[in-house]
Amino acid sequence: MPRVRLALVGALAGIAALTACSSSSNGADSASSPKGGDKPAAPAAKPITKALTQAQLTQALLGDGEMLPGWALHGDKDVTEGQYCNSSDKEAAPAGWVRGGDSSYEYNGSTNNMAYVDICLFDSEENAHATYTEWKGAETNKQQAPEPAVGDESVLVIDPGASEDTVYGYVRSGKANIRVRIEGGTGDDPSGAQATMTATLKRLQQLQDNKAATVTAPDEQVTATN
């Protein structure tokens, strides 16, 4: 299925007119999150509640020099069509889907190993939660909670299905879902997927506060080990 291509320059132009007014990053909590999720995040983790623009979703995706060491952006960042925010066996957009963006990365110049990041925005926390639950699946023996927790709900799935050296990371923060898949390369190290999804969420939070997206995955990986 074709996807609409969106160049990074369009994203930068789209956020250039953001106002300087920002809200405190500590001013909201996730107490109203749907029940049945994974380990809750610390109170300082501000959920995504605004209807972020397509340009903001694109800017939140990690670019060259912002992804984990060895990984480089493969092609352009994309606008995601609705069906790609659903679970893999469905061909329609999930309920409440608003918009999405995605990017892919190659490892050390080779496409033998790839990484993928998807951001999917919904019209409500309930619809985001429903899709997040479908994303993470039922292989509870392969799931582990990130430490520290990310967003309102988050989980890492190690080698889902019959895969090897693959890690999936799933996050829900307010009305936004983030999905990370790392195959090979650093795929056997779940800290890489965790750093990627944490950095992506923090970039969304920066943009929601009308700030530039500056957080990187290497920074988050270092922070998590300290």
Q: Two tokens at 37?
A: 């999720």
| Confidence band for 14, pLDDT divided at 50, 70 and 90 | very low
| Confidence band for 128, pLDDT divided at 50, 70 and 90 | very high
pLDDT of 221 reads 86
Highest mean pLDDT: which of 22-36, 80-94, 104-118? 104-118
Counting other chains too, the contacts that 140-149 makes at CB distance below 8 Å and 24 or more residues apart are 144/190, 145/38, 145/39, 146/39, 146/194, 146/197, 146/198, 147/224, 148/41, 148/42, 148/224, 149/38, 149/39, 149/40, 149/41, 149/42, 149/45
- Residue 32 has a CB neighbour count (10 Å cut-off) of 10
* pLDDT greater than 70 at residue 203: yes
Q: Average pLDDT over the chain, rounded to whole?
A: 83
Higher pLDDT pick, 74 / 26: 74
- Per the document, the length of the chain is 226
pLDDT of 185 reads 66
| Confidence band for 187, pLDDT divided at 50, 70 and 90 | low
DSSP label at 109?
Answer: T
Ramachandran region of residue 140, left (φ > 0), alpha (ψ -120 to 50) or beta? alpha
Higher pLDDT pick, 36 / 138: 138
- The percentage of the chain sitting over the pLDDT mark of 90, rounded to a whole number, equals 68
Higher pLDDT pick, 185 / 174: 174
pLDDT of 9 reads 35
* pLDDT greater than 60 at residue 154: yes
- In the chain, which residue ranges form alpha helices assigned H by DSSP? 8-15, 54-60, 125-136, 190-208, 217-225
Contacts of 31 (CB under 8 A, 6+ apart): none
Angle at 165 between CA 160 and CA 170, to 5 degrees: 45
Higher pLDDT pick, 22 / 100: 100
CA–CA dist 119, 172 (Å, integer): 10
**Could you give all domains of the chain from N- to C-terminal order, each with its CATH number?**
4-16+50-225 (3.40.1000.70)
* pLDDT greater than 50 at residue 131: yes
| Confidence band for 28, pLDDT divided at 50, 70 and 90 | very low
pLDDT of 90 reads 84
Amino acid (one-letter) located at 71: W
Ordered DSSP codes for 67-92: SSTTEEE-S--EEPPGGGGS-TT--S
Biggest distance spanned by C-alpha atoms of the chain = 48
- Angle at which helices 217-225 and 190-208 cross, to 10°: 120
Cα Rg for the chain, rounded, in angstroms?
16
CA–CA dist 204, 180 (Å, integer): 15
User: What is the average per-residue pLDDT within 126-145?
Assistant: 95
User: What is the average per-residue pLDDT within 146-163?
Assistant: 91
Q: Which of 105-119, 183-197, 201-215 has the lowest mean pLDDT?
A: 183-197
User: What is the three-class DSSP state of 206?
Assistant: helix
pLDDT of 57 reads 98
